[in-house]
Amino acid sequence: MPVTLIILAAGQGTRMNSDLPKVLHRIGGAPLLAHALAAGSALGPEKVVVVTGHGGAEVAAAAREADPEVRVVAQAEQLGTAHAVAQALPELQGMTGDALVLYGDTPLIRPETLEALREARARHAVVVLGFEAADPGRYGRLVTAGDRLERIVEFKDATDEERDITLCNSGVLCADAGLLAELVAAVGNDNAAGEYYLTDVIGLAVQRGLSAGVVTCAEAETMGVNTRSELAAAEAAFQARARDEALENGVTLTAPETVFFALDTIVGRDAVIGPNVVFGPGVTIESGAEIRPFTHLEGCHVSRGATVGPFARLRTGAELAEDVHVGNFVEIKNAILDEGVKVGHLTYLGDAEIGERTNIGAGTITCNYDGVFKHRTKIGARVFIGSDTMLVAPVRIGDDAMTATGSVVTADVPEGAMVVARARQEVKPGFATRFFERLRAQKAAKGGK
């Protein structure tokens, strides 16, 4: 059965004390909104609608970056969750199947939980996601009779007896798309806040003689982010989950609590990740690769058998083929390293192509930026780049060539050739002795100062 996602992302998040819209604050290197989109996209929705409000243009841009096909609608006035869903309903005209309502500030709900919600929809007209709260606080309460849900009561409208209920509402809801439109249209705002509550659709459905149900999940999945403290807690929960999943999938983490993942990090089985490794967005590590301690990676691909680090940095566009070695204090950016390349230490390779089995000596720099434009360096296969070589791009080094230590290479080097590009050494006997004697005499003349 087809499904449409409606993601509510209009809130300002005043308690975040931030100019940034709440749903654009990040955990796992990605906006909260992207986490909600990722969970929902696992269901293969036919259409995704994001409802924006505060910072609408920024939120819309982030939504489209995560999913270029997403539809964006604006909630000009924040009059409640049912009012927000109503803004999305024109996008659902003609749609069949289910509509699933998610929240852009609730990033930890698992796709498996959403799938269970959809499965329950086969037995009920409307299904909500609930959880048993350790401290129910001001959550909305789920009033049930047996396995059926009778109504949802907001805390401020609940009686003392209803406030004793520990089964609470996450806000996530699934219903037939056509039915949801009818129920939302019937929601009123006769309540303490004067808002249009999406939760009222449950009572309206029951009044029509329709069945409503509840699917429960762990309370941690329903964590909403409204403060910086909750943002930090969500980050910690995301990282704990990501580490557990990596371990379960056959990845070795030698110090799991020190490794930080991004939302889209992919690490293959039998990869080894050392302590204090940080994955930014867009990283893929193939099976059998090793990432050594204190390495930072973003926007890169590391192939089978490669080793990176310790103390290395792979930036966007770094592509490492099989059996590449990138050592300590090496930075790679927008560069392709073919099979078996070795870059041992203290090197920067930017905007470059390095052929197979090439060895890059310590202190090598591709001088890729002239202050206005970026230029590429192309190094062939089986090349030996001597230590402290400056490669002033654009420049090409042919296969099987070499550079002498300390060279500044400004022109192409043919295959099999060696380039020496440095001043000839000159020795001046006794110069150092005379030079320092003169300086010390000058200092003594000034009273030793």
Cβ-contact 302, 284 below 8 angstroms: yes
**Which regions in the chain score pLDDT beneath 50?**
none
Structure tokens at 89: 């309903």
Cβ-contact 104, 12 below 8 angstroms: no
- Is 345 designated active site? yes
Cβ-contact 87, 75 below 8 angstroms: yes
Rounded mean pLDDT of the chain?
A: 95
Per-residue pLDDT, 11: 86
Per-residue pLDDT, 146: 80
Give the CATH H-level superfamily of domain 3-222.
Spore Coat Polysaccharide Biosynthesis Protein SpsA; Chain A (3.90.550.10)
Per-residue pLDDT, 449: 67
Per-residue pLDDT, 12: 83
Residue 426: how many CB atoms within 10 A of its CB? 5
Identify the bridge partners of residue 5 per DSSP, sorted by sequence position. 48, 100
- Would you mind telling me the total number of residues written for the chain in this entry? 449
Structure tokens at 234: 């969500």
Phi, psi of 254 (to 5 degrees): -70, -25
| DSSP state for residue 329 in the 8-state scheme | E
- From the candidates 25, 83, 124, 345, give the one annotated as an active-site residue: 345
pLDDT tens by residue, 6-37 = 999 998 888 999 999 999 999 999 999 999 99
Same fold, 3-222 and 228-419: no
Domain ranges (residues) in the chain: 3-222, 228-419
Per-residue pLDDT, 284: 98
The set of residues, in sequence order, having a beta carbon less than 8 Å from that of 440 and lying 6+ positions away, is none
**Assigned fold of 228-419:** UDP N-Acetylglucosamine Acyltransferase; domain 1 (2.160.10)
| pTM of the full structure | 0.91
